Amino acid sequence: MDSSRPHALPDWSAVPSNSDDDRRLMNQRLAYFGAVTCIISGSFFVVVNSVSLLFGASLLESVQKPPNVLHLVATLLFGLEWLLCRRGRRSSKQLNLIDVGTTFGALVTFAAAFIIGGQGFEAALILTLITLSGLIMRAVVVPGTARRTLWVSTVCCAPALVATYVIASHAQQTMSGMPWTTVASTVYVGTWLAATVALSTLASRIIYGLSQRVRAATELGQYTLEEKIGEGGMGAVYRARHALLRRPTAVKLLPPELAGERSIQRFEREVQLTSGLTHPNTIAIYDYGRTPDGVFYYAMEYLEGITLEDLVVHDGPQPPARVVHLIKQLCGALAEAHGVHLIHRDVKPANIVLCVRGGLADYVKVLDFGLVKEVATASPKLSAAQTVMGTPAYLAPEALTRPDEIDSRADLYAVGAVAYELLTGKPVFDGATVLEVCAKILHDAPVSPSERKGSPVPPALETLVLACLSKDPSARPQSAVEISNALDRHGELWTALDATRWWELRAPAILAAVKTGAVRADPVSERRTVGIDFMKRHWAAAE
């Protein structure tokens, strides 16, 4: 035998890895296990001593009995485990010591209590039941590999086996004619303890395996998904955490059935261009990639705020000065994108988030630059040549008649539609069906914001909004910069003090309503991104 060859040692690690996530989870689970076992053990302690009172013993005499003292010590050990793990961060070695030390120590204490109590073979059976319950519960609650659970359970069963041998040996001395008592009792209890080890190991294997599968499903490269914050036909958005960086992140998942290989390649180029945008009102894209099972994802900055759609739903029409303030920021983001030949294609209130950034209130962030068309046209159900992509209430007329020829002025039409809705609290056109909305976009003139709102809107602002909504692209402002310059001539200002007051007084209630899902229904989906196939008179939700 080669003595120089290292021997394989059991994996005593308390956590699968030394990462912060694993240690945090282990802390939480050990605290939970300690608290529950302390409560259960303490309850039995109270019951045992209460029964003693019924038989005339005083409480002090009952508590001072050595078995009861040891029972109390075992209970306090579990309580200590809870205290040590309920707060703070501990290393893997410390967690390992707490886990094995408290469990083994408590079972040794229980074993000593039953040996001293001298209750005969029934005591060994009760001790076995305690050991079985505790170790199986530990296997279910405390994360660990099957191999580690096997070793820990084996070691922690030893006190019960030794106690059974001692108790049975004492019983043999008082039970003449039964020389097999010690061996038979020990074998019987040993069989139950072996079953305990097997069951706890199996439970750990199943539960740990499932947790690893869940972990694999929620890990995308360096990102771990935490909570779903949105969902649409084009995929779901999750709040996520980067493995190394502490900044909050939003990750959007695009299912493989909605994106073909060629469109993914175009989308990757689009993301690369979009990630180069540096305007402060444009959402930042951090990363993108594809999982082994074909799910495409991209990571962007996480925003805690209110979409302009929710703003109108919960706060109604906005003051003209505030509308100017918000639209100017939107135009700034679009101006940079248009300058590098990126068309948003889905400018709408739901894609514009209002938040507080760097202490500045009423800060606009524009989402989903150039993503919708490139990805959605890859769907096998929608033909790029026959399908119009966008949100009906904000589609320019040329996007319906010549979708392959649209330019940045289609985004400017949508800017006018967003401004119109902010001023009036209603979309430019609505209808019972999507096709009815599209027909009005093509043929009807929009009602003036003043008439739609029922109160006056500054004439210069109203004229600008209606110009953006012109059927003819050449009759609109020709750039986002032109719109922004025109807005500069609006006399009334929305100040930083106005914004701060609104966020202090109105924002908390709206944020709470948004979190609880208290938003109005959208019966005809005129505000959702859809694909419309006019050749087949078919529309399908895309986002």
Domain boundary among 165, 185, 219: 219
Chain length of the chain: 543
Q: What local confidence, expressed as pLDDT, does residue 373 receive?
A: 42
Q: How far is CA 443 from CA 231, 307, 363, in A?
A: 33, 30, 35
Q: What stretches of 324-407 adopt beta strand conformation (E)?
A: 352-357, 360-366, 387-390
- 540 pLDDT higher than 90: no
* 3-state secondary structure (DSSP) of residue 224: strand
Residue 203 tokens read as 């439970």
Burial tier of 290 (Cβ tally within 10 Å: 0-12, 13-18, 19+): middle
CA–CA distance, 182 with 173 (Å, rounded to integer): 10
Number of structural domains the chain divides into: 3
Q: How far is CA 445 from CA 3, 368, 456, 462, 540, in A?
A: 92, 29, 19, 14, 27
Domain boundary among 300, 332, 359: 300
Under the banding of pLDDT at 50, 70 and 90, the label for residue 108 is very high
- 31 pLDDT higher than 80: yes
Q: Which helix (H) or strand (E) is 69 found in, with range?
A: helix 66-85
- Residue of 348, 258, 367 lying closest to 309 (CA atoms): 348
Residues 194 and 228 in one domain: no
Q: Which of 157-161, 285-289, 353-357, 451-455 is predicted with the least confidence, judged by mean pLDDT?
A: 285-289
Q: Which residue has the tokens 């002025």?
A: 409
- 314 pLDDT higher than 70: yes
- Residue of 504, 516, 438, 503 lying closest to 471 (CA atoms): 438
Q: What local confidence, expressed as pLDDT, does residue 385 receive?
A: 44
Phi/psi of residue 390, nearest 5 degrees: 155, -170
pLDDT tens readout for residues 372-391: 443 333 333 333 444 556 67
Residue 205 in any domain: the answer is: yes
Q: With pLDDT > 70 as the criterion, what percentage of the chain qualifies? A: 76
Residues 402 and 497 in one domain: yes
Under the banding of pLDDT at 50, 70 and 90, the label for residue 12 is very low
pLDDT tens readout for residues 493-537: 899 999 999 999 999 989 888 877 655 545 444 555 555 554 444
Q: Which residue has the tokens 């790029």?
A: 384
Residues 329 and 248 in one domain: no
Q: What is the pTM of this model?
A: 0.62
Q: How far is CA 45 from CA 53, 157, 347, 363, 404, in A?
A: 13, 22, 66, 60, 78
Q: How far is CA 504 from CA 211, 247, 392, 478, 500, in A?
A: 42, 25, 34, 37, 6
The mean pLDDT of the chain is 80
For residues 479 and 449, the answer to whether their CB atoms sit within 8 Å is no
Domain boundary among 283, 300, 317: 300
Q: Which residue has the tokens 């989870």?
A: 25
Under the banding of pLDDT at 50, 70 and 90, the label for residue 257 is low
Residues 101 and 236 in one domain: no
Q: What local confidence, expressed as pLDDT, does residue 267 receive?
A: 64
Residue 115 in any domain: the answer is: yes
Nearest 5°: the CA angle 385, 386, 388 is 100
Residues 276 and 294 in one domain: yes
- Residue of 229, 412, 371 lying closest to 304 (CA atoms): 229
Enumerate the active-site residues: 346
Q: What local confidence, expressed as pLDDT, does residue 377 receive?
A: 39
Residue 11 in any domain: the answer is: no
- CATH number of the domain enclosing 247: 3.30.200.20
> From the centroid of its chain, how far is CA 346?
26
Residue 243 in any domain: the answer is: yes
Q: What local confidence, expressed as pLDDT, does residue 50 receive?
A: 80
Q: Which of 6-10, 147-151, 405-409, 513-517 is predicted with the least confidence, judged by mean pLDDT?
A: 6-10
Q: Left if phi > 0, otherwise alpha if psi is -120 to 50, otherwise beta: which for 55? A: alpha
What mean pLDDT comes out for the span 28-49?
Answer: 90
Q: Which of 95-104, 184-193, 365-374, 483-492 is predicted with the least confidence, judged by mean pLDDT?
A: 365-374
- 366 pLDDT higher than 50: yes
- 476 pLDDT higher than 70: yes
- 448 pLDDT higher than 70: yes
Residue 9 in any domain: the answer is: no
- 193 pLDDT higher than 90: yes
Residues 162 and 231 in one domain: no
What mean pLDDT comes out for the span 236-261?
Answer: 73
Q: For the chain, percent helix, then strand, then coil, each to nearest 5?
A: 55, 15, 30
Structural domain of 160:
20-219
Residues 53 and 167 in one domain: yes
Residue 177 in any domain: the answer is: yes
Of 381 and 241, more confident:
241
Q: What local confidence, expressed as pLDDT, does residue 409 receive?
A: 92
Q: Fill in the amino acid letter for 430.
A: D
Residues 414 and 441 in one domain: yes
Q: Fill in the amino acid letter for 242.
A: H
C-alpha torsion sign, points 491, 475, 526, 268: negative
Q: What local confidence, expressed as pLDDT, does residue 290 receive?
A: 74
Q: Which of 49-58, 194-203, 374-383, 450-459 is predicted with the least confidence, judged by mean pLDDT?
A: 374-383
Residue 52 in any domain: the answer is: yes
What mean pLDDT comes out for the span 71-76?
Answer: 92
> Rounded to 10 degrees, what is the CA torsion of 358, 512, 328, 497?
-60
- CATH number of the domain enclosing 356: 1.10.510.10
Residues 313 and 418 in one domain: yes
Residues 266 and 309 in one domain: no
Q: What local confidence, expressed as pLDDT, does residue 344 receive?
A: 87
What mean pLDDT comes out for the span 412-426?
Answer: 94
CA–CA distance, 296 with 442 (Å, rounded to integer): 36
Residue 4 in any domain: the answer is: no
Residues 147 and 250 in one domain: no
C-alpha torsion sign, points 333, 334, 340, 343: positive
Residues 536 and 402 in one domain: yes
- 474 pLDDT higher than 60: yes
Q: What local confidence, expressed as pLDDT, does residue 213 receive?
A: 63
What mean pLDDT comes out for the span 340-352?
Answer: 88
